[in-house]
Structure 1
């Protein structure tokens, strides 16, 4: 085996290991997204239970601090919107898992047809589609969490009184909830966006270069 062939085989082995680790990471995160969306979906139905007309009164002493029909309608709107986001992200995550499985089988079939040559080992277009679906499912989950946070603010107002009354319990609860959850969402958003930029930089050169010529593989 010449030095050129040895170098190609060595680089190919490293590349295969990186792809396997990346697919395992994608599948682990997708499993977490599905589990998280299931948990949040339960929270959505709990929030909807506070939107029944004529049966909700806050714990505030002032009758003017009791929630009105408009607030309960807004709660339902936020809950349904967050539910839709979670369903979208969950189905998309499942679709990406199926796509990764099909891509893995297709790559193995292509290697078998090419007698285990380097040709067809990595299809950048399929990788781009999996990356897009992966990050769309994450962003869909974040949108659902944001809408659910707004819905929980309305739930606090329904139970403790309107924010306009400036009750210390309502204000303290809303500030603590928005501060903690908002900080977590912002941290997660910037982390995911940074990972998306890195993934885009890795995929773009592969799309521009295209498949390697057969002459170069036989060198």
Structure 2
């Protein structure tokens, strides 16, 4: 099965958007990494609510895993774009009309989308650790930490649900 010229252009645009979003999330990963200073005190007045080294370690692991998924997703998307732009494209004016196997394109786009979703999940988990470092451990019942985590998990989960549903719809139609 081959793609048409108009659908190939749409795929390239979708891949561009995915790479751009992954780049923004990658910036968030590095901001999170900058917050892994040992011995940092939370904004809670109780010293027992301060995050220990294990929370900072968990933050670092989640950030690295998140970065890895975003990098995977971006590289797959960039590879697909490269294939679209090079395969069967004799003229640079025809870069968006290259013919590529639709099954390969769909599989690659699905892999890239899964990488982005997993990157978002681990970024969300790392942000929970950032919240615990800055606002106090959730186990201490810090009201501001609980509210921040609840808002983060609710909004990110909702957005991921919409994204996954859209990807599933696009993949099946």
Settle same-fold status: TM greater than 0.5: yes
Deviations 1:30-52 (CA, angstroms, capped at 9, x unpaired): 11111111111111111011112
Structure 1 segments unaligned to the other structure (5+ residues): 1-15, 109-121, 199-219
1:177 aligns with 2:157: no
Deviations 1:142-201 (CA, angstroms, capped at 9, x unpaired): 110111011001101110000001111011111011101110001111110121122xxx
1:80 aligns with 2:64: yes
Deviations 1:71-100 (CA, angstroms, capped at 9, x unpaired): 110000000000000111111111000111
1:43 aligns with 2:43: no
Structure 2 segments unaligned to the other structure (5+ residues): 92-98
Match of 1:163 in 2: 138
User: Residue 89 of structure 2: which of 100, 105, 108 is its match?
Assistant: 105
**Contact in 2 for aligned 1:81/1:147 (Cα 8 Å):** yes
SS of residue paired to 1:192? helix
Whose Rg is larger? 1
Distance 1:129 1:57 in 2: 50
Answer 1 or 2: higher relative contact order, Cα 8 Å, separation at least 6.
2
Q: How many residues align?
A: 166
Which range is displaced more, 57-66 or 130-139? 130-139
1:195 aligns with 2:163: no
Shift of 1:29: 0.9
SS of residue paired to 1:60? coil
**Contact in 2 for aligned 1:82/1:145 (Cα 8 Å):** yes
1:135 aligns with 2:110: yes
Distance 2:102 2:86 in 1: 12
Cα RMSD after superposing both structures: 1.9
Match of 2:42 in 1: 58
